Amino acid sequence: MDLEIKIIKNESPKAKPQDETSLGFGKIFTDHMFVVEYTVGKGWHDARIQPYGPLAIDPASPVLHYAQEIFEGLKVYRRADGGLQMFRPLENAMRMNRSAERICMPTLDAEFQVKAMKTLVEIEEAWVPSQPGTSLYLRPTMIAHGAELGVHPAKKYLYFIICSPAGSYYKNGMAPVKIHIEDRYVRAVKGGIGAAKTGGNYAASLKATFEAADRGFDQVLWLDGRENKYVEEVGAMNMMFVLDGKLVTAPTGGSILPGITRKSILQLAQHKGMEVEERPISVHELLDAYAAGKLTEAFGTGTAAVISPVGLLEYQGQEMHLSDGKIGPIAKEMYDTLVGIQKGAIEDPFGWIEKIS
């Protein structure tokens, strides 16, 4: 796709944060954003990088009423030599297109999406932090707009990318999380939209997550929506278990978001000679394995944390305590290798790195 990206510079740039240790996540946004528009009959048009700021959309826009919206999340890392690189951006662009198809939105050439990311990052270069664990988080998003309340796919779409410098997820060390296995609410069902990265899945998850938080849990682990029996995923992370020395995770099968971190960890584990299984895992299998001393680790995988070790799994009052409240050896090895590749400290044998500078 050969669409020219027009650049409109922000003439009043913001002061950049001085303290990289207090960046947090998603609170500060850079000076520019990428925008491209789609109109049925005309296709994609008016690609541009413009000053970051509010969007003007009609209050009757379908995104506001029927949640026709999708997004992505990926990071730009600063290497020790000062250069910048992204981790598997084409995977995010292709997943964006799969989400688009599921929510009846137009696709945007994946290579063009990556070009837009790179062009934007080149302009925002000075916003990429350098401290360990920090990155520039990119949030590609697509919304349906225009003025029409009828329930059907919209005629106008906006695809945009915003950037936010992100602090280290593990600023206070890698404290394992406490997870409640949810047996009343469900997030996604087979045949539903669980495999699409769309806002509606998050709206569906808020209540259970906040109720669990009131009871001292950090996250909710969802069970399948049909039998309430098989473990699926957590918040914005896929889940992996070390069961009898093997790395086991649920198959993506339509109700689980196919994480790029998940896919990368599975590949990495195999590369390291570990046995890997993608298969349904019932909560009772976990309880039995725990009782037999065979469930030795559990961790979440996702772009934000890379790996989030689990210290406690709770199901209907039964508790499974893992790894002595520390990060387990397999989670640690996977974390160190993947972060090393992402940051450029370890050579990338897989072709996952896309250099920007």
Complex with ligand PLP: residue 158 or 250, whichever CB lies closer: 250
Distance of CA 301 to the CA centre of its chain: 9
* Residues 197 and 70: beta-carbon distance below 8 Å: yes
Complex with ligand PLP: residue 123 or 136, whichever CB lies closer: 136
Q: What residues contact 331, with CB distance under 8 A and at least 6 apart?
A: 297, 299, 307, 309, 323
Helix locations, 256-356, DSSP H: 260-271, 283-291, 329-343
* Residues 244 and 213: beta-carbon distance below 8 Å: no
Q: Is 204 left (phi over 0), alpha (psi -120 to 50) or beta?
A: alpha
With binding defined as CB under 6 A, does residue 262 bind ligand PLP? yes
Residue 258 Cα distances to 32, 194, 329, 343, angstroms = 29, 9, 24, 23
Gyration radius from the chain CA atoms: 21
With binding defined as CB under 6 A, does residue 302 bind ligand PLP? yes
In angstroms, give the least distance from the CB of 24 to ligand PLP. Answer: 18
Which window, 50-58, 117-125, 256-264, 291-299, contacts ligand PLP (CB under 6 A)? 256-264
In angstroms, give the least distance from the CB of 27 to ligand PLP. Answer: 19
Q: Which helix (H) or strand (E) holds 214?
A: helix 199-214
* Residues 341 and 348: beta-carbon distance below 8 Å: yes
Among the listed residues 260, 268, 295, 320, the single contact to ligand PLP using CB under 6 A: 260
Complex with ligand PLP: residue 135 or 261, whichever CB lies closer: 261
Among the listed residues 119, 252, 255, 303, the single contact to ligand PLP using CB under 6 A: 303
With binding defined as CB under 6 A, does residue 197 bind ligand PLP? yes
* Residues 153 and 101: beta-carbon distance below 8 Å: no
Q: Which of 285, 283, 287, 296 is nearest to 244 (CA)?
A: 296
- Using CB under 6 A as the binding rule, the residues of this chain from 47 to 106 that contact ligand PLP are 73
Which window, 139-147, 230-238, 278-286, 307-315, contacts ligand PLP (CB under 6 A)? 230-238
Among the listed residues 30, 238, 323, 337, the single contact to ligand PLP using CB under 6 A: 238
In angstroms, give the least distance from the CB of 19 to ligand PLP. Answer: 26
Q: How many residues bind ligand PLP (CB under 6 A)?
A: 15
* Other C-beta atoms lying within 10 Å of the C-beta of residue 259: 24
Q: HSE of 285 in the Cβ direction (CA atoms, 13 Å)?
A: 14
Complex with ligand PLP: residue 257 or 330, whichever CB lies closer: 257
In angstroms, give the least distance from the CB of 220 to ligand PLP. Answer: 11
In angstroms, give the least distance from the CB of 235 to ligand PLP. Answer: 7
With binding defined as CB under 6 A, does residue 237 bind ligand PLP? yes
Among the listed residues 261, 323, 337, 342, the single contact to ligand PLP using CB under 6 A: 261
With binding defined as CB under 6 A, does residue 233 bind ligand PLP? yes
In angstroms, give the least distance from the CB of 241 to ligand PLP. Answer: 16
> Structure tokens of 35?
């925008």
Which residues in this chain contact ligand PLP in the complex, by CB under 6 A? Answer: 73, 197, 201, 233, 236-238, 257, 259-262, 301-303
